[in-house]
């Protein structure tokens, strides 16, 4: 076929995920091979929908996020994934990527995770290369580490592996296994100043990172078992410990990264007091000020009441465990 006439597109949908055991720091920055394994839950109802159109008449790759033409580092990361798809498909056609989110960007909800998971699936789907779940997870990882966890559904573990071929994520329990809910307490809608890609590169500058990484197999095993046993108290303790450990590394890296606001700490303390009084809720925070309160879905109304009037709380968004990334349209034309 003439290159000029090449026109293949596909659209995929993926959810962000919230990590219970966090990924922070790479063994290999280019391949995003993580320093430690991680466990997360996909977030239902928060969606990124990405359409990729490989078009033989284009001279360059083009990216739009929520309708805004986007270049710079975001486009470079998108190209990294598209280049890998072009290599696998043995073709040299540029693409337009149009990504739409139904939640705010850069505020601690991992839009890069859902974005790169949807991109991996739509780009490979558009050119018709057949990739299994682990290959898609590896492809998404090239754009954003945590994106590899948004390919499989439900509760997911990303294993460090020994290299590119065996560092991918897989489900450890399906979406409906445990009725957990993430109550996302939005404190700020300001985009963060240092994103997680750069932050991940700084992790090794903290003297605490080596001991955090060395202790990860213990935390992974407790977290995995607590999910499989649906043991909320064991789960809550390890999730909070893991988040505190990651933020200790962040705050002691060079330069230091302070993602919490004073209001974040107020929410965290309210959650701890309520749990001591019997509420099945715990907190975790990513690379932003917003607090994710993980609870059993039955008590999410109590969690909302607990925090909605605390200082600085703008909104509380609820999300249950979500499904895998999926193709929603595949309209390849020759």
Q: Binding string to ligand PMV for residues 142 to 171, with x set by CB under 6 A, is what?
A: --xxx-------------------------
Residue 280 beta carbon to ligand PMV: minimum distance, rounded to whole angstroms: 23
Residue 38 beta carbon to ligand PMV: minimum distance, rounded to whole angstroms: 5
Distance of CA 236 to the CA centre of its chain: 20
101, 122, 200, 253: which one binds ligand PMV (CB under 6 A): 200
**Strand intervals (E) in the chain:** 7-14, 17-21, 26-28, 33-34, 38-42, 48-55, 62-65, 68-69, 95-101, 155-158, 169-173, 180-186, 281-284, 291-296, 315-320, 326-329
Footprint of ligand PMV on residues 249-288 (CB under 6 A)? 286-287
Query: Does 42 interact with ligand PMV (rule: CB under 6 A)?
Result: no
196, 206, 243, 284: which one binds ligand PMV (CB under 6 A): 196
CA distance 119 to 15: 12
Residue 3 beta carbon to ligand PMV: minimum distance, rounded to whole angstroms: 34
Footprint of ligand PMV on residues 233-252 (CB under 6 A)? none
Residue 31 beta carbon to ligand PMV: minimum distance, rounded to whole angstroms: 13
Residue in 124, 111, 117 with CA at minimum distance from that of residue 66: 111
CA distance 131 to 125: 9
Q: What angle do CA 21, 184, 63 make, to 5 degrees?
A: 85
19-27, 65-73, 174-182, 212-220 -> range binding ligand PMV (CB under 6 A): 19-27
Tokens read off for 56: 């033989």
Q: Which residues pair with 54 in a beta bridge?
A: 8, 95
| Residues shown for the chain | 334
69-77, 139-147, 212-220, 272-280 -> range binding ligand PMV (CB under 6 A): 139-147
74, 101, 112, 253: which one binds ligand PMV (CB under 6 A): 112
Using CB under 6 A as the binding criterion, the count of chain residues that bind ligand PMV stands at 16
Q: What is the number of alpha carbons within 13 Å of residue 197 lying toward its C-beta?
A: 16
Q: Which residues pair with 55 in a beta bridge?
A: 7
Residue 286 beta carbon to ligand PMV: minimum distance, rounded to whole angstroms: 4
Residue 117 beta carbon to ligand PMV: minimum distance, rounded to whole angstroms: 11
- When the beta carbons of 87 and 201 are compared against ligand PMV, the nearer one is 201
Residue 104 region, left (φ>0) first, then alpha (ψ -120 to 50), else beta? beta
Which parts of this chain interact with ligand PMV (CB under 6 A)? Answer: 19, 22-24, 38, 110, 112-113, 144-146, 196-197, 200, 286-287
């Amino acid at each position: 076929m003439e290159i000029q006439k090449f026109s293949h597109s596909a659209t995929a949908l993926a959810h962000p995920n919230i990590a219970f055991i966090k990924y922070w720091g790479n063994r290999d920055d280019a391949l995003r091979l993580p320093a430690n394994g991680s466990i997360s839950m996909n977030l239902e109802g928060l969606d990124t929908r990405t359409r990729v159109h490989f078009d033989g008449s284009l001279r360059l790759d083009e990216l739009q996020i929520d309708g805004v033409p986007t270049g710079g580092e975001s486009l470079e990361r998108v190209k990294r994934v598209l280049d890998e798809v072009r290599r696998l498909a043995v073709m040299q056609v540029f693409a337009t990527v149009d990504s739409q989110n139904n939640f705010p960007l850069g505020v601690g909800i991992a839009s890069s995770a859902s974005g790169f998971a949807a991109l991996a699936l739509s780009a490979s789907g558009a050119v018709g290369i057949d990739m299994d779940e682990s290959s898609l997870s590896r492809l998404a990882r090239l754009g954003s580490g945590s994106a590899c966890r948004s390919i499989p559904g439900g509760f997911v573990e990303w294993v460090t592996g020994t290299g590119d071929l065996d560092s991918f994520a897989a489900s450890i329990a399906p979406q409906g296994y445990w009725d957990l809910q993430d109550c996302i307490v939005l404190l700020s809608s300001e985009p963060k100043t240092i994103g997680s890609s750069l932050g991940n590169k700084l992790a090794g500058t903290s003297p605490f990172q080596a001991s955090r990484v060395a202790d990860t197999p213990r935390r992974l095993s407790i977290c995995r078992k607590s999910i499989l046993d649906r043991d909320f108290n064991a789960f809550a303790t390890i999730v909070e410990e893991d988040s505190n450990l990651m933020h200790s590394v962040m705050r002691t890296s060079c330069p230091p990264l302070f993602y919490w606001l004073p209001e974040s700490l107020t929410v965290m303390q309210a959650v701890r007091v309520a749990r001591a009084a019997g509420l099945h809720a715990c907190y975790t925070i990513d690379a932003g000020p917003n607090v994710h309160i993980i609870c059993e879905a039955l008590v999410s109304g109590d969690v909302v009441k607990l925090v909605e009037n605390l200082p600085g709380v703008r909104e509380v968004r609820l999300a249950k465990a979500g499904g895998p990334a999926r193709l929603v349209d595949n309209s390849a034309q020759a």
